[in-house]
Structure formats: structure tokens, C-alpha cells
Structure 1
Amino acid sequence: MTAPVLHDLTHQVTTAMPVYPGDPEVSLHPALTTATAGVNVLSVHLGSQSGTHVDAPYHVDVTWPTLDGLPLERFTGPAVVADLRALPARTAVTADQLAPALALVVPGTVLLLATGWPRFWGTGRYLAHPYLTPEAARAIVAAGVRTVGVDALNVDPTPDPGPGDPAVAALLAGLADDHDPAPAPEPELAAHRILLGAEGGGVICENLTDLTVLLEAQARQKPITVSLFPLRLAAADGAPVRAVASIG
């Protein structure tokens, strides 16, 4: 029997890595070194939503479950990948566009949305990703999916934070030449609220890396299992994960 092949779907955590506009910046630096203390210890400063991470329902509603209130089953399962790579910037993903993938889900399925946006990681274009319409989010929940991952910054549209925000100046430098329209107005974090507010509590994983290898495996009818286990932060809205796919 051939052993499954593991694929890392996690962005490396580095100082000054891209974060959602307004979120805490990421900083890594030596706290102790072998030269001075006999050991190397890294000081790590980041937000709960840094890099490849999961959102718990508490992220959008203080009355909903925190990260430690969710069952471990929410963070792993067989995966189905929706191919959305042909969509232009700031496109609203419809329920019809997800229908082929949703036809393949079973209870416990992790639905992954492949937008192709990891190619823009670290540039202003990364903010202009496709996003779920409320109708698409409701179709996901109606199909029984409780865990959704995306290879982009957000399942909702990410607004342009404006040039006055120094925390995102480097990202905005890349947006100047894109000429993408602003996101259409929607209820604030509508897709988040629908997915996370699903019966039993939902989970969203954002900032996955390139999902092309999973789409290719899916086309060959290879079984795919995804693990998105977060750091065990107490009473948290979310946490960074080491996202790993097992193929075969």
C-alpha cells in the first residue's frame, strides 16, 4: 500500500508578514541565545488571526463558541476543493459556482475554496480576492459543511483601508496599478456570520497556500484529508494553524 503524501498548506510565519488591515503586526526576534544563555528561544508577537489561521464563531459574536468550545472534529476531515481560479479580482462567488463541489460533500467534509490568490501574497493585489456571497455561504451551510478553508485573506470582501493606514502601506503600494473596483457593499462580514453561526458552530480557515496540487489530486479521484488544528489558546476568537493535506 502506498503511503499518503503530505502537503503543507501553511504560510511561513515571519516578521512583517501580511496581516489583515488593522490586525497586530507579526514580529519574531531572539529572546535568548546560546551565546548569552546557553539556549536559543524565540520571542513571538502576533495576532490570533495571523497567517494561516482558523476563526471560531466567537470571532464575530461574543455569545457564540470560542475556539476551545469546538470539537476537534471541526478541524479535520475529508476535503472537497472548489475550483474558483478563473474568477477576476473582487468577484462575488455565487451558490451556482459552488454547486459542483457541494454535490460531492458528505457530513464532516472540509470545503476548500481555491481562488489562486496565493500568487499575490505579500502584494496589494492580495486584498482584492474573490469572496462569498451570503447566498453562497448559506448554500454551504445547507449542504452540511461546517468547516471552510480559503487560499485568500478573507471569505468576505476585504475593504481598501486607505492610504492613511501605515500598517498596510506596503500592501497598498501594489494596489495602485490594479484598478480593481471596490467591493460591493454587503452586511458586515455576512459570510463569516453565516458560516460561523451554523448549527453546532462553524470554522473558517483563511490564508491557505496554493491548492492546485489538491485540485489535481481531486481530478484523479485521489482521497484528500485536511488537518487544520489550531494553537490551544484559551477563550480565543481564532488561532494560527499548521494546515496539512494528506493525499492518497
Structure 2
Amino acid sequence: MTSPSAPFLIDLTHQLTTGMPVYPGDPEVALRPVLTTDTAGVNVLRVHLGSQSGTHVDAPYHVDVTWPTLDGLPLELFTGPAVVADLRALPDRTAVTADQLAPALARVAAPGTVLLLATGWPRFWGTDRYLAHPYLSPAAAEAIARAGVRTVGVDALSVDRTPGPGAPDGEPDGEAGAAAEPALAAHRILLGGPEGGVIAENLTDLTPLLEAQARDRPITVSLFPIRLAAADGAPIRAVATVGG
């Protein structure tokens, strides 16, 4: 029988499927058999997707061609001890403030800590409302960078505001002050530090990690991407290890 305090793994990855949700304007995902055991003796799948499909990481090159590509980043950026910020009470299209992140950032002690943002938005996966997620204000992103965090993950479509449909109850798309913010401001702050950083997006529900953190159980996450050459990002298999 497994001990209640024994380490265990949690998969934080959305399954890649044909027609799955993608960021507005990104390539659609399509999986099609190209060989089958009936005709060729083996099963082989043709995979069509964008580099930002599903659960994925962004490299600095995603927002600036002079910044490092995915293959120019050290592997250490894709794994580490994790701290989870509980942002699940925030309403649609809310800009997260530095003060709201302060309790989580106060837990960041070791170099290489990964900050995970739990918005609760996976419950809207596959609906228009998934685009109406909370997002980091520039001040919040600056606070993360000042804390020395180089790897940030979120259980939503982006760390920045996503354009398009998704505001509930007929509310207008957007919020006061959003138009005045630079495009992808949080991306540029988090990815553009002196040594570069990475952002993981479209993680699945982080509630189990918040519960583990509340019990003071150590959490480590792995966010290793497919090894694409000179890429802006790539899909990942995101996995958390909850320790004893």
C-alpha cells in the first residue's frame, strides 16, 4: 500500500487532439493516420501543429528575433522547485497585480524556482471564455523578474491579455487601460532578462499543487520541450513531482 506521504507525479499537460483550442491566428492542430497496420504493417501518425500548440513553452525568440531561440537555452530553465500563486478568485480579464503575487513570491528562496500561476481557467478549456483569462500586469511581471524567477508557468492561454471573444454576459472585449499597455508586455519582461527566461502556457488544473503546497509538500516541475531547431517555442510534457 502506498504511503500518504510517498512522492507522486501529476500530469499538467493538455492532450494534443485534432481541432483543439489554439491561440487566435495560430495553426490548427490536426492528427491523421498516414500509415496503418492494415496497409503498411505499422501505425504512423501525421502531426500538423504550431510551435505554440497545447501545453508549451515560449523562448525569448518568440517576441524578439535578437533574443535566444529555444535551442539556445540551458536545460536548467525547464525544471526546478515550484511555488504556486493562487489567483483563482480573479474575474475575467483581470490584470494581476504585484501585491496579489506577493505571498507566492515571498516563498521563492532557491535559485531556479519555477513560479506557477493558478487562475483556475482550465475549467473553461474549449470555450470562448478560455480567452478571457486573467493576465499579468507589467508591474506584476517586473515583480517576478526582481524576485529572480526565470521560469513562469500558467494554467491559461497566455501570461498576457488574449484578444478576441470571451468576455461573459455581453461585456466588451478588453478592460480599462489595456489598450495603453505595450503588446505582450509580460512576455517581454519575463523572457527578456539578462540571461533570458521561459514561459509555460496552457498548463492543466493546478489545484492539486496548491493543496500540496498548503501541506508544505515540496513540488518540482519538469517542462521539457520538443527539441526544435531555432524555434520560438515548442509543445512540452509538463509533469509535477510532489514529494513526501
User: Shared topology, TM-score over 0.5?
Assistant: yes
Same amino acid, percent of matched pairs: 81
1:119-171 deviation line (CA, Å, top 9, x unaligned): 000000000000000010000000000000000001000011xxxxxxxxxxx
Aligned 8 A contact 2:167 2:173 in 1 = no
Could you tell which deviates more after superposition, 125-134 or 176-185?
Answer: 176-185
Tell me what 1:147 maps to: 151
Could you tell which deviates more after superposition, 182-191 or 25-34?
Answer: 182-191
Among 233, 239, 244, the alignment partner of 1:244 is 239
Aligned 8 A contact 2:93 2:167 in 1 = no
Among 199, 204, 209, the alignment partner of 1:209 is 204
The amino acid of 1:227's aligned partner reads S
Query: How many Å separate the matches in 2 of 1:37 and 1:62?
Result: 42
2:196 match: secondary structure? coil
Question: What stretches of structure 1 of length at least 5 have no aligned partner?
Answer: 161-171
Q: Measure how far apart 1:179 and its partner are.
A: 2.6
Asked if residue 231 in structure 1 is aligned to residue 226 in structure 2, the reply is yes
What are the equivalent positions in structure 2 for 1:14-33 lying under 5 Å apart? 14-33=17-36
1:71-110 deviation line (CA, Å, top 9, x unaligned): 0000000000000000000000000000000001121000
Tell me what 1:169 maps to: none
Q: Measure how far apart 1:240 and its partner are.
A: 0.1
Query: How many Å separate the matches in 2 of 1:101 and 1:231?
Result: 29
The amino acid of 1:232's aligned partner reads R
Query: How many Å separate the matches in 2 of 1:86 and 1:177?
Result: 18
Query: How many Å separate the matches in 1 of 2:105 and 2:159?
Result: 17
The amino acid of 2:77's aligned partner reads R
Query: How many Å separate the matches in 2 of 1:34 and 1:3?
Result: 41
Query: How many Å separate the matches in 1 of 2:134 and 2:70?
Result: 26
Tell me what 2:188 maps to: 193
Tell me what 2:73 maps to: 70
Asked if residue 116 in structure 1 is aligned to residue 115 in structure 2, the reply is no
Alignment TM-score, normalising by the size of structure 2: 0.94
Query: How many Å separate the matches in 1 of 2:45 and 2:6?
Result: 34
Query: How many Å separate the matches in 2 of 1:176 and 1:23?
Result: 23
Question: What stretches of structure 2 of length at least 5 have no aligned partner?
Answer: none
The amino acid of 2:217's aligned partner reads K
Q: Measure how far apart 1:198 and its partner are.
A: 1.3
- Number of paired residues? 236
Query: How many Å separate the matches in 1 of 2:204 and 2:80?
Result: 18
Aligned 8 A contact 2:129 2:168 in 1 = no
Query: How many Å separate the matches in 1 of 2:202 and 2:115?
Result: 14
Q: Give the CA RMSD over aligned residues.
A: 1.3
Tell me what 1:135 maps to: 139
2:208 match: secondary structure? helix
Moved over 2 A (4+): 174-181
Tell me what 1:166 maps to: none
Q: Measure how far apart 1:4 and its partner are.
A: 1.5
2:82 match: secondary structure? strand
Among 34, 39, 43, the alignment partner of 1:40 is 43
